[in-house]
């Protein structure tokens, strides 16, 4: 398991781009609030710690993880954000509902990344039980919200158009 080898909250501030003058949208699911609120709060704190002004962070909630697609799409359509973080938590149950939700959200958020010029950061944690979710939302494995914020900072810190990041000559 990858997170067993890497704490989700560990990052090197020296190589993390500043969020100064950047606008970030965060959409989070209200389902599993113990987990999603902790993820949301971790993302906000990490963004602020890396120079994103609190006023430049917009936070919106949706009822469940499947609705993250719609919330993130609305933020992307507005063209007001330099990055969007989608946060949710799906815990495996006794039915295949878990699989359908996880696959649907993954496909939907992936689609937004190619349809819009705003990076949408995948902050959906999918676990087998509540304990695993707690470990990834501020527990012994750190906070996936921190990791999502750092990912957003890196994506916003890159120059995409006209950049030559790989030269084969």
pLDDT at 4: 67
Residue 41 included in any domain: yes
Quote the distance between the C-alpha of residue 28 and its chain's center: 9
Determine, yes or no, domain membership for 124.
yes
| Mean pLDDT on 116-138 | 97
**7 is a domain residue:** no
Q: What DSSP character marks residue 15?
A: G
- Which amino acids are annotated catalytic? 97
Does the pLDDT at position 164 exceed 50? no
Q: Give the number of domains in the chain.
A: 1
In a domain, 14, yes or no: no
Look at the alpha carbons of 41, 10, 54, 60 in this order and tell me if their dihedral is positive or negative.
Answer: negative
2 within a domain of the structure (yes/no): no
Q: Given pLDDT bands bounded at 50, 70 and 90, which one contains residue 1?
A: very low
For 54-104, how does the pLDDT look when each residue is reduced to its tens digit (9 = 90+)? 999 999 999 999 999 999 999 999 999 999 999 999 999 888 899 999 999
Residue from 42, 43, 18, 53 nearest 153 by CA: 18
Write out the H or E segment, with its range, that includes residue 105: helix 97-115
pLDDT mean across residues, the chain: 92
Q: What is the pLDDT of residue 21?
A: 97
Compute the Cα dihedral for 108, 113, 116, 119 and give only its sign: positive
Residue 5 falls inside a structural domain: no
- pLDDT value of position 17: 93
Q: What is the CATH classification number for the domain harbouring 102? A: 3.40.50.960
Question: For residue 142, what are the domain limits?
Answer: 21-156
With a cut of 60, say whether residue 12 has pLDDT above it.
Answer: yes
The two counts, helices (H) then strands (E), for the chain are 6, 6
Q: Which of 3-7, 77-81, 112-116, 146-150 has the lowest mean pLDDT?
A: 3-7
The mean per-residue pLDDT over the stretch 117-146 comes to 96
* pTM (two decimals): 0.91
């Amino acid at each position: 398991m990858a997170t067993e080898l890497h704490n989700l909250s560990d990052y090197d501030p020296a190589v993390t781009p500043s969020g100064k003058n950047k606008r970030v949208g965060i959409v989070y699911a209200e389902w599993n609030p113990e987990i999603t609120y902790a993820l949301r709060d971790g993302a906000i704190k990490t963004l602020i710690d890396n120079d994103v002004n609190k006023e430049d962070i917009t936070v919106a909630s949706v009822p469940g993880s499947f609705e993250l697609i719609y919330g993130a799409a609305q933020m992307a359509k507005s063209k007001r954000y330099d990055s969007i973080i989608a946060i949710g938590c799906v815990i495996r149950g006794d039915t295949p509902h878990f699989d359908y939700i996880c696959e649907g959200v993954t496909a939907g958020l992936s689609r937004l990344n190619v349809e819009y010029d705003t990076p949408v950061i995948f902050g959906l944690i999918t676990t087998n039980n509540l304990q695993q979710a707690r470990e990834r939302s501020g527990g012994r494995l750190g906070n996936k919200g921190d990791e999502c914020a750092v990912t957003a900072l890196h994506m916003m810190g890159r120059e995409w158009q006209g950049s030559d990041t790989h030269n084969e000559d």
